Structure 1
Amino acid sequence: MSKLLVVFGATGQQGGSVIDTVLNDPELSKEYSVRAITRDPTRPAALGLQNRGVEVIKGDVDDPKSLSAALAQAHTVFLVTTTIYDDHLKSREFRQTKDVADTAVAAGAQYIIYSSCVAAESLWGRSVPAFDSKAASEAYIRTLPVKSAFFLPGMFMQNFLTNQSPRPLSQEGDETTYAIANFISPDARMPLIETVKDGGKYVGAILANPDKYAGNNFFAATELHSYREAAEIITRVTGKKTVYVQMSLEQWVSYLPPGYDKAMTEMMRWIESPGYFGPRTKEDVEWTVQQVKEKLTTFGEFVKAHATDLFQQ
């Protein structure tokens, strides 16, 4: 009899990637049956999962009453919470995680895989709310009578299609120069992950060897690149000249919505130093890559695959 894997965020990038990995893997698809949890089972993405043989159940991390049915008979739970940048960020994510984890344990679940982040405040002495909220939730899960492992995704390559996409900077003849802009050093290196294609590959490695990885953190990224290197790769792959522009902090903040600005500023400062996953970012990423059997996507491959979507005019 297969183990029931319950996936929260099933129609999002992380949860969807986990489901894709399990369904497409000959061994994992035999070992696990999949239940997708979504707030709206009528959405096209949820219906698409049903058409692939996935059980889809309505559930909401903000509605504790919905969690008992969502987690009934669960063996393993994959949980990701959505970061909303407001004054309740930390308390909300901790409450959501606690409710799911407590209900999972009460339902007899044997394993929890949580999408987490490093504890920036304890490492750095300054809070990065988007990281510390998940780190506090991870710490709580570790106190529970259940095995657990933790998936810590790096910076999403998908960000280069949205808020970090190259924008037109200047025009000389027929050639447009594009810019990626931020306030951090052009040489600050960031671990990059192709979330949609690769996120599930890391979680799949845990699912394939749960006892081996119990208690472990997976620092998930293919490779580290600075903004300067990312711009050079985009130029080389697409043929469109792209540069990194280091703005002043004040100018950068002026482009951000109120409330979001402070949280993002602290996150980018953290990435610059000591590093996205802390002082051992490079070593932790290298160890994690070695645990994954499937090929992971390089940033150059991502750019090639999304060349037509990369530039916002």
Structure 2
Amino acid sequence: MAAKVITVFGATGNQGGSVARTFLTEQALADWRVRAVTRDASRPAAKNLKELGAEIVLADMNEMASLVAAMQGSYAVFAVTNYWEKADMEYEIQQGKNLADAAKAAKVKNYIWSSLYNIKELTNGALPHVYHCDSKAIVESYIRSLSIPATFFYAGFYMSNNSGIQSSPSEHAGAASFSNPEGLFKLTPDGRWVFSLPVSAKAVLPVYHTEDTGKYIKAAVLREEESLGGRILGATAYMTCGEIVEGFKMVFPKAGRSAEYRVQSEEEFRSELRVAGTPDYVIDEVYENMVLLEV
């Protein structure tokens, strides 16, 4: 029996990279072959996938012909776009539609789209600037309108944003070297690890590690009859901000002994991003994304 092909877009990135590695290494997926799509085959991540056995192909999400060629002969496709590459909603929507049109042309049997909820619609316009969610939701609606066999994956809150958990602070004073100014846990001048967002400690986050993405997509193909047409919610757990701090203390009992959660004001949150050079329109989007946790 010929191996089934899964074509993975974003194969050198977070979600796609996890999917490609999972399908290349797990015994339960031994009858699958991975076609990893990239714009640059010379990238180290692409070379690593090739060493694991992936077929590397070049394609551009803005060039329809290259997308159809990349998907030809594929049973399944995992597609993810990177809104933050340009922070342009219309640009991402067009790329998403191009991918969907190509999947239809290539007669893909399970098109797996990395989607998100339409926040503007869900909040009746109260949060109109969470473009990176809305754009993916608009593409999902377009995919459904094409009546192609599709599954929709919803990634949770990236715990890789959480510098304390991702970077494993040491259990001594040297923990300061692990402080990431863009992470959620920050080391204060008085030696405390502080997690702060502009929401209460009771706000709930659907926590998720991008490296687990492949596990969800594995389920999507192995349990296809159950998943086709549906949504797979990518969350390991649902934790409050306060529970995340308690988890930090458990993992790092010394460095995290005095860790705490602090509620930021809207102005504190915006000011912190502004000082880091973040454009105002992006600050609006990120702030509303945080507020969403309590809607």
Task: Give your verdict on TM over 0.5.
Answer: yes
- Secondary structure at the counterpart of residue 83 of structure 2: coil
| 1:34-79 superposed Cα distances (whole Å, 9 cap, x missing partner) | 1000111111110111111100011121333421321222221100
Corresponding residue SS for 1:142: helix
**Separation (CA, whole Å) in 2 of partners of 1:255 and 1:265:** 11
Cα distance in structure 1, aligned partners of 2:97 and 2:157: 25
Q: Unaligned 5+ residue runs, structure 2?
A: 164-179
The answer to whether the 8 Å contact 1:228/1:244 transfers is: yes
- 2:67–2:102 contact (8 Å) kept in structure 1: yes
SS at match of 1:27: helix
Residue in structure 1 matching 2:183, options 143, 164, 174: 164
In the alignment, structure 1 segments of 5+ residues that lack a partner are 274-313
Q: Is residue 1 of structure 2 the alignment partner of residue 5 of structure 1?
A: no
Query: Retained in 2: the 8 A contact 1:94–1:137?
Result: yes
Mapped partners of 2:112, 2:14: distance in 1: 16
Query: Which of 261, 266, 269 in structure 1 is aligned with 2:291?
Result: 269
What is the CA distance between 1:145 and its match in structure 2? Answer: 3.3
Task: Tell me the distance in 1 between the aligned counterparts of 2:187 and 2:44.
Answer: 34
Q: 1:207 aligns with which of 218, 221, 244?
A: 221
Q: 1:165: how far off?
A: 3.5
Determine which of 139, 144, 150 is the counterpart of 1:142.
144
Misfit runs of 4+, over 3 Å: none
Are 1:118 and 1:132, in contact at CA under 8 Å, matched by a contact in 2? Answer: yes
TM-score, length of structure 1 as denominator length: 0.81
Letter in 2 for 1:123: L
Residue 12 of structure 2 aligns to a residue in which SS?
A: coil
- Give aligned pairs, total: 266
TM-score (norm 2): 0.86
Query: What is residue 189 of structure 1 aligned with on the other side?
Result: 204
Secondary structure of the corresponding residue to residue 36 of structure 2: strand
- Residues 24 and 53, structure 2, Cα contact 8 Å, conserved in 1: no
Structure 2: how far apart are the matches of 1:48 and 1:133? 31
Percent identity, please: 33
Tell me if the contact between 2:21 and 2:49 (Cα under 8 Å) persists in the aligned partners: no
Alpha-carbon distance between aligned partners in 2 of 1:218 and 1:42, rounded to the nearest angstrom:
33
Is the partner of 2:33 in helix, strand or coil?
strand
* Whole-angstrom CA distance in 2 between matches of 1:237 and 1:214: 38
How many angstroms does 1:95 deviate by? Answer: 0.5
Q: Give 2:251's aligned amino acid.
A: V
Answer whether contact 2:19 2:217 (CA < 8 A) is retained: yes
Residues in 2 aligned to 1:119 and 1:2: alpha-carbon distance in whole angstroms:
36
- 1:85/1:75 CA distance change after superposition, 3 Å: closer
Name 1:123's counterpart in structure 2. 122
Please give the secondary structure, in 2, of the residue aligned with 1:151: strand
Aligned alpha-carbon RMSD (Å): 1.6
1:107, CA displacement in angstroms?
Answer: 1.6
1:29 corresponding residue in structure 2: 30
Which amino acid in the other structure matches residue 270 of structure 2? V
Superposed displacement of residue 140, structure 1: 0.7
- Counterpart position of 1:97: 96
Shift of residue 85, structure 1, vs aligned partner: 7.6
Displacement after TM superposition at 1:170 (Å): 4.2
Whether contact under 8 Å (1:4, 1:74) holds in the other structure is: yes
Q: Distance in 2 between matches of 1:232 and 1:54?
A: 40
Provide the residue aligned with 2:270 in structure 1. 253
Alignment of 1:50-129 (within 5 A): 50-84=50-84, 89-126=88-125, 127=128, 128-129=130-131
Q: Residue by residue, what CA displacement relative to the aligned partner does 1:251-309 show, whole Å, maximum 9, x if unpaired?
A: 11012211210001111111221xxxxxxxxxxxxxxxxxxxxxxxxxxxxxxxxxxxx
Deviations 1:131-170 (A, max 9, x none): 1111111111111232111110100111102533422224
Q: Which amino acid aligns with 2:204?
A: R
Corresponding residue SS for 1:94: helix
* 2:237 aligned residue: 223
- 1:159-202 per-residue CA deviation (whole Å, 9 max, x = no partner) reads 1025334222242xxxx211112111111010101111x11111
Paired residue secondary structure (2:162): helix
How far 1:246 sits from its partner (Å)? 1.0
Q: Which is worse superposed, 77-86 or 111-120?
A: 77-86
- Cα distance in 2 for residues equivalent to 1:144 and 1:2: 27
* Contact 1:74–1:104 (Cα < 8 Å) also in 2: no
